[in-house]
Structures are given as C-alpha cells and as structure tokens.
Amino acid sequence: MQFFLDSTDLEEIKRLNSLGIIDGLTTNPSLIYKSKTPFKLLIKKLCDEILGPVSVETVAENSKQMIKEGIKLSKMAKNIVVKLPMTWEGLKACRELSMIDIKINITLCFSTSQALLAAKAGATYVSPFIGRLDDENIDGIELIRQIKKIYNNYSYSTKILAASIRTKNHVTQSALAGADVATIPPKVFSTLISHNQTDRGLEIFNSDWAKSGQKIL
C-alpha cells in the first residue's frame, strides 16, 4: 500500500518526507487556500519536495475548461496528477486527458457506480471519501471492498485511493480492504507509529540497559 500525504503544509511535508516512506501527495483547493502561498510557487515547491505523484485539482465546471486547466497543470511538473470531480463533465475531461497520457485522479467518489464510471473513463486513481461516508453512518470501508471486487472482476487498472481518512484505524481498514493508496493528513500519519506497549517496552529496555553499566560505542 502506498502512503500519500494530504497536505500543503510544506514544513510538515518535508519533515515526514525525510522518513523515506512517503510515496506521493494530494492537494485540493481548500488546502491550497489555507496555505496562503501563491499557487504556482506552492505547486513548484511541493513537486520539488515529493518525487511521487502530486494531485492538483482543476476548478472549472465544464469539461472544455477542465481539459485546458488539466493540460496547463500537467505542464507545471512531470509528477502532476490532475484531479477532476466526479461529475459528467469531469468524466468527459478524464476521458480526453487520459487519452493524451495525462494521469487523472477522480475525486469525491461516494458510490460503486461512480467508481465504475471513473474506471471506464480511464482514471489513474479514484478517491472514495471514507470519512465523509462514516459521518453519514455509511460504511466507507465497505465501499472500498466493493470497488476492489468490481475492479478485480473486470481487470480495471484504476487505483483505489482511500481519502478523507480521519483515524489510523481508517488506514488499517483501508489496507485490509485492498486500497492501493491511502492519502493521510499529517496529524493522522503521525499517530500511525504510536502504541502504549511500544512506549512501555522501550522504557524498560532503556532502564535495564542503563543498569547494566555497559556501552555499545
């Protein structure tokens, strides 16, 4: 399973990317707005820092403008993935852009029928929003399982990118359900390593080693 960060916080991205286990990045207009950084400068910095796929979203509402924006975005860096909304216009743009080898992430997916349409349109990724489904008492992880089964049935190459992740349990369950990627906010990503038994065990080991009076170096 690949780990993407869902963020535009460059300092936090740099800190976590230094671990060597971050595979990509996702952004959206809201995150870009919160960054308070000029758009082109921000995208350049993000794409320089993250060598893997970096999803950047169009803001147009019709397919012609989405295609124009998508082509422009794709030229900003080699690792750009163009994000398009799960709408008929978004699917039209997805089909056209994928035919000229521009990678596409179809976002705001909430159903299996939407995921099937994304795959038919040639999307590189589809992003089911599991946290938002959970907010409505709908099992977001079950959606990933169903999408995975459908894609396997017909050998679709579209990757399932679990999005709207709220907890580390979401990450675990997404992996068990067969998601190809989880895009994780930095705050949630930082909790993945935490366990009270790890902390207790380390404390005991360090204490016993200190009592031994020995040195490794």
Q: Which two tokens stand for residue 154?
A: 């017909």
Is there a catalytic annotation at residue 83?
yes
Of 66, 61, 96, 65, give the one whose Cα is nearest residue 83. Answer: 66
Beta bridge partners of 49: none
Q: Find all residues with CB under 8 Å of 9, minimum gap 6, and list them.
A: 35, 186
What's the rounded Cα separation, in Å, for the pair 177 and 130?
12
Q: State whether residue 85 is helix, strand or coil.
A: strand
What's the rounded Cα separation, in Å, for the pair 147 and 151?
6
Q: Which two tokens stand for residue 178?
A: 């067969």
Q: Which two tokens stand for residue 186?
A: 């930095």
Provide φ and ψ at 33, rounded to 5°. -60, -45
Q: Which of 83, 92, 159, 211 is catalytic?
A: 83
At 139, which amino acid appears? D
What's the rounded Cα separation, in Å, for the pair 55 and 15?
19
Provide φ and ψ at 75, rounded to 5°. -85, -10
What's the rounded Cα separation, in Å, for the pair 33 and 210?
50
Give the active site residues: 83
